[in-house]
Structure 1
């Protein structure tokens, strides 16, 4: 079973808007961690350079590494969009 490691970076903008950036997809966990180390000192990223483990901390702003099996659906169910202040139609 082949796996890849996806690196994203997230931080919260004013108004509780989540800003998520796709950083890259890596063959190994070590390569993903090296990307976090390289980018953690760059402009913008350096304000939130931590690697976040949601199982350990409540902190939300920083880098995330997700492990994914290839050739597998990782979102196998539909979704519902709830109405909010940005979209009063509920769609």
Structure 2
């Protein structure tokens, strides 16, 4: 979990790049898959009202993907 000098959790570096590390205590959740960025951002706004999510309103991240393309093409390891 990335924390700044004040101890606040930060998941975006100064360049705006996102990072989360479950092994360090980050609890990553997938809110859904949406047909447009607009729909995804609307879902983020709704989630910010929910228990657990409202505590970290700046820790949401939206990714864009091409449909019908493999995203994870290599294996994985368990740490």
Q: Which residue of 1 aligns with 2:14?
A: none
Aligned-residue offset at 1:65: 0.7
Q: Which residue of 1 aligns with 2:64?
A: 67
User: Aligned to 1:36, which of 31, 37, 44?
Assistant: 44
Once residues 21 and 53 of structure 2 are traced to their aligned partners in structure 1, the CA distance between those partners, rounded to angstroms, is: 13
TM-score by length of 2: 0.62
- Structure number with greater CO (CA < 8 Å, separation at least 6) is 1
The count of residues paired between Structure 1 and Structure 2 equals 61
Once residues 26 and 71 of structure 1 are traced to their aligned partners in structure 2, the CA distance between those partners, rounded to angstroms, is: 14
- Rg bigger for which structure? 1
- Cα 1:24–1:81 change in 2 (3 A) is same
Higher fraction of strand: 1
Q: Which residue of 2 aligns with 1:78?
A: 75
- Cα 1:39–1:47 change in 2 (3 A) is same
User: Aligned to 2:25, which of 6, 12, 17?
Assistant: 17
Flag structure 1 segments of 5+ consecutive residues without an equivalent: 1-10, 51-61, 83-91
